[in-house]
Structure 1
Amino acid sequence: MRLVTFDAGAGARTGVVLDETGASILDLTAASGGAAPFATMLALIAAWPEVKAQVTDWAAAPPAAAMVTGAKLLAPIPRPAKNVFCVGRNYQAHINEGLKARGAPPAPPPPAPEFFTKPPTAVIGPDEPSLHFPINDAMDYEVELALIIGAPGRDIPAAKAFDHIFGYTIGNDVTGRRLQRKHGQWFKGKGLDASCPLGPWIVTADALDPSDLQLTMVVNGEPRQDSRTSNMIFPIPFLIESLSGGLTLEPGDIILTGTPHGVGYAMDPPRYLKAGDVMEASVEGIGTLRTPVADA
């Protein structure tokens, strides 16, 4: 099932996508008569065990009065309750391309996942512009598989990790490369406003096997990144086990799982983003997240 947050003129609502493009949506707010569990995606995720059967029935036989067409798609979770968790250097070929760009030899993978975060103010939805700030003269892209936590938990063992996943979406970890290095850590270069496109919807965990999905990034029609989730150094169960150690994951928490090789700064010469560019991040089984670049 594909769940979406959309705006058809009455503000943000939750829905079920019933076609391949997102043009036909079952409005869960309307179908439920405005019931609280359907008011926001965060509320829907928290209530999912109780409402899943009802949503499945509505999707199978949509009430005509609850159907919407031509709505604007928003980020699936427009305002996360916490920072978005991110994983750095989780694909070996991406590690090596970065080292090569700096004149260094290949290196072994990190001994443990490298976590950082992006603030809620970074999140934008499909077709919303990612902003090119004057402070960011080395703007880059990173396609990623993003997962959404459903059942809360702390100290989650890898064997139980998938029990805690609600679903999956596409993330684009837009990055300021020189800022990233200037400040000696990653938050500033990766935490700018509008630097975390997410969407176009959430595919529920029961509808997608994330173990070997193709990820691609196309910029202005030119293929840049192309890899598979099976190339992750630390697979999803390990990431959840590691991140949840002593740290409670809650419904609606978002985790970006890392980007593969093909980023702009590692090209020769580097090719950074500028206003007018269009990024198209795709993940097999989910779809495509389109993001234009605009001057701030």
Structure 2
Amino acid sequence: MRLARIGDVGQERPVVVVDGRAHDLSGLTPDLDGRFLAADGIARVREALAAGLPEVPLDGVRIGAPIARPSAVVCIGMNYAAHAAESGSAPPERPVVFLKHPNTVVGAFDDVVIPARSTRTDWEVELAVVIGSHAYELDSDEAALAAVAGYTVADDLSERAWQLEESGGQWSKGKCGPGFTPTGPWLVPADEIDPGRLRLRSRVNGEPRQDSTTADLIFDVPTVLRELSHYMALEPGDLVLTGTPEGVALSGRFPYLAPGDVVEIEIDGLGRQRHALVAPGARDVR
């Protein structure tokens, strides 16, 4: 079962996709958001599927981010040892945390505008966790995983000069360009995914860049959620990005992104994204 939001920007409607067929959820909920998830939404979808839902076409339809604008996008930095090394840093002893603006979240196939001043725009494939219930001061891995509604794919696009040279010590300056978090295409329920054994890959213009597995995370999903919950309350619908593996432009092995480049990222079981990078003023589907 895959949950999605389809339609033009601002007019998305919720659907559930099973065996390649999309079924309309508009009669069950106006959107896929925190309120829906907190009200046992995924179980309600399964019940509605069993009772029968009308089909809707997917061909030629825009697929938006699978969760309506979250209240928070919380990110973990340098959570793969090899990526920390290519960034010139030792593996962290505690999770490195930064925030992205919620308006960075866009659809998996939307164009992304490279900011006019950007010279070092970079890609980062990441496993994203969608929170399903209020989570604060979690005391066990079991409690942490119980707070997860599902998982999706995210590209944590970054402007490295802003992140590292103009940051004043805070990474978020380089992370918050509008559209800098393509998300989706699907939200997959937590009980259908093992977040500890997922293969992640990225390509730029068809050339391989990243290829790793979440088994190599320094801090796994329950550890990340437990740690975050002792500093902030996570709310239903929030996105938590768990970090990226090695193979980004920051390593010096690849050029940074430029208008006309196409980034593809994918995670086994969660789907694939494809987004074109465009110059300011170029066509933008958001």
Q: What TM-score comes out, normalization by structure 2 length? A: 0.91
- Aligned position for 1:195: 180
TM-superposed CA distance for 1:253, in Å, is 0.8
Q: Deviations over 1:148-177 (max 9, x none)?
A: 011212101232211100000001000001
Unaligned runs of 5+ in 1: 100-106
CA-to-aligned-CA distance 1:159-199 (integer Å, 9 cap, x gap):
22111000000010000011111223211111111111100
- For residue 156 of structure 1, give the secondary structure of its aligned residue in structure 2: coil
1:27 paired to 2:24: yes
Q: Quick one: which of 67, 73, 79 aligns to 1:77? A: 67
Of 167, 176, 190, which aligns to 2:159?
A: 176
Q: Quote the residue 1:13 is aligned against.
A: 13
C-alpha separation in 2, matches of 1:9 and 1:283 = 25
Aligned counterparts, 1:23-172, within 5 A: 24-29=21-26, 32=27, 35=28, 38-42=29-33, 43-48=35-40, 51-60=41-50, 62-63=52-53, 65-70=54-59, 71-80=61-70, 82-99=71-88, 108-159=90-141, 160-172=143-155
Q: Distance in 2 between matches of 1:163 and 1:170?
A: 20
CA distance in structure 2 between the aligned counterparts of 1:243 and 1:54, rounded to whole angstroms:
28
- Call closer, same or farther: CA 1:9–1:143 in 2, change over 3 Å: closer
Decide whether the 8 Å contact of 1:141 with 1:175 is kept in 2.
yes
What secondary structure does 2:130 align onto? strand
Shift in CA distance, 74/273, structure 1 to aligned 2, threshold 3 Å = same
Please state how far the C-alpha of 1:135 moved relative to its aligned partner: 1.2
Structure 1 residue 267, shift from structure 2 partner: 2.8
Q: Deviations over 1:41-61 (max 9, x none)?
A: 11321222xx54442144346
Counterpart secondary structure, 1:148: strand
Task: Please tell me the residue identity of whatever aligns with 1:180.
Answer: Q
Deviation at 1:66, TM superposition (A): 4.1
Q: Secondary structure at the match of 2:13?
A: strand
Equivalent position amino acid for 1:175 in 2: S
What is the 5 A alignment of 1:200-219? 200-219=185-204
1:243 and 1:134 map into 2 onto residues whose CA distance is: 33
Larger Rg: 1
Q: Secondary structure at the match of 2:39?
A: helix
Structure 1 residue 126 displacement after superposition: 1.8
Give the number of aligned pairs: 275
Higher helix share: 1
TM-fit CA distance, 1:281: 0.8
What is the SS of the residue equivalent to 1:197? strand
Cα RMSD of the aligned pairs, angstroms, is: 1.8
Q: Match of 2:248, as an amino acid?
A: V
Q: In the aligned structure 1, how far is the partner of 2:98 from the partner of 2:269?
A: 26
Deviation at 1:234, TM superposition (A): 0.7
Q: Which amino acid aligns with 1:76?
A: P
User: Quick one: distance in 2 between partners of 1:246 and 1:89?
Assistant: 19
Give me the whole-angstrom Cα distance separating, in 2, the residues matched to 1:282 and 1:67. 25
Q: Which residue of 1 aligns with 2:267?
A: 283
Q: What amino acid maps onto 1:174 in structure 2?
A: L
User: Unpaired segments of 5 or more residues in structure 2?
Assistant: 281-286
Task: State the distance in 2 between where 1:110 and 1:117 align.
Answer: 18
**Contact 2:81/2:91 (<8 A) preserved:** yes
Q: Partner letter of residue 135 of structure 1?
A: R
Instruction: Go from structure 1 to structure 2 and tell me whether the alpha carbon gap of 1:52 and 1:262 turns closer, same or farther (over 3 Å shift).
Output: closer
Q: Find runs of 4+ consecutive structure 1 residues off by over 6 angstroms.
A: none
Query: Do the aligned partners of residues 69 and 8 (structure 1) sit closer, same or farther apart at CA in structure 2, a change above 3 Å counting?
Result: farther
Matches of 2:4 and 2:85 in 1, distance apart? 36
**CA-to-aligned-CA distance 1:92-148 (integer Å, 9 cap, x gap):** 00011121xxxxxxx542111010011011111021111111211111000000000
**Cα offset for 1:19?**
3.4
Deviations 1:194-233 (A, max 9, x none): 1111000100001111111100001110010000001011
Cα distance between partner residues in 1 of 2:134 and 2:121: 34
